[in-house]
Amino acid sequence: MSDRFAGKVAIVTGGVSGIGAKIAERLIAEGGSVMIADINEQAIAGIGDTLGPNAAGRRTDVTDERDFAALVDETVERFGTLDLVFNVAGGSKSGSLTDISFEDWDFTVRLNLYSAFNGTRLGARQMLSEGKQGSIVNVASLNSLVPMFYGVGYTASKAGTVMLTKQAALELGEAGIRVNAVSPGLVSTPLTSGLTSIPGVTEAYAERIPMRRPAQPEEIAAAALFLASDDASYISGDNLVVDGAWSTSGYPDLRPFLGGAEG
């Protein structure tokens, strides 16, 4: 591993599993220090034992502004500064436009878009207060560009995350704070296993993905870390799609697998 992140301090939300965990592991391997935020209190408690002295964890509701602000404060108190924010936490409750409950819509938008807003805004405020340059990476989704059945809350919130990224890049560019998004296609994570374990779903996806497989979390982490690194020093406001060329072929119709009827 290189020392790309030597002396850098990062916040990684959703950092105990999947893409977030791989980002945290690589940051530490490349010289950084990481504060991991997650709702999973038990997993957070063992972060130091797992990742070593350059890692700490805080149980955080990333949809709550005050809780996220406390996360930033604790990061600076522990490590002395803040250079990088990776807004990875996300998820959804499925539903169609006409059938989704308001509660499920609100849950999904808050988890994806509010959390990215909190991390981007509060991370930027800290960097500005220190008078330093920094980098923020928001994990969006291919669904920021391509709709899917039963995904109205997810697609809308991820599209909002991409435009939030562009808006932040516009406003923060003069201060030298770069803001980018990475948009994965299908990734093999604990979060997606509930869907891909349904018989036939993985095959339906693979038929549409030219590379014929889902991504591994470390492949998305590599893209996010590139955007955060000095190798991407003139990249800001971008949405890097990492999907195995899936966007060239369209989204599968999942209604037959999820209890609906094909149109």
Rounded to an integer, the average pLDDT of 139-156 is 94
Question: Which of 14-18, 65-69, 230-234, 253-257 has the lowest average pLDDT?
Answer: 253-257
C-beta neighbour count of 1 within 10 angstroms: 9
pLDDT(46) > 90? no
pLDDT beyond 90 at 192 = no
pLDDT of residue 177: 98
Q: How confident is the model at residue 1 (pLDDT cuts 50, 70, 90)?
A: low
In percent, the amount of the chain with pLDDT more than 90 equals 74
Q: pLDDT tens for residues 103-138?
A: 999 999 999 999 999 999 999 999 999 999 999 999
Which position has the higher pLDDT, 120 or 47? 120
pLDDT digits (tens, 9 = 90+) for 212-232: 888 899 999 999 999 999 999
Q: What is the 3-state secondary structure (H, E, C) of 100-119?
A: CCHHHHHHHHHHHHHHHHHH
Which listed residue (114, 150, 154, 205) is catalytic? 154
Who's near 60: CB < 8 A, 6+ residues apart?
13, 37, 38, 39, 67, 68, 70, 71
| Size (the chain), residues | 263
Give the residue-averaged pLDDT of 7-23. 96
Whether the CB-CB separation of 223 and 86 falls below 8 Å is answered with no
* pLDDT for 263: 42
Q: Is the pLDDT of residue 3 over 80?
A: yes
Q: Could you give the CA distance from residue 123 to residue 136 in angstroms, rounded to a whole number?
A: 8
pTM reported for the whole predicted model: 0.92
Please say if 234 is a catalytic residue.
no
Task: Write b or e for each residue in 202-214: b if 16 or more Cβ atoms lie within 10 A of its Cβ, otherwise e.
Answer: bebbbebbeeeeb
Give the homologous superfamily in CATH for domain 9-241.
NAD(P)-binding Rossmann-like Domain (3.40.50.720)
- What pLDDT was estimated at residue 171? 98
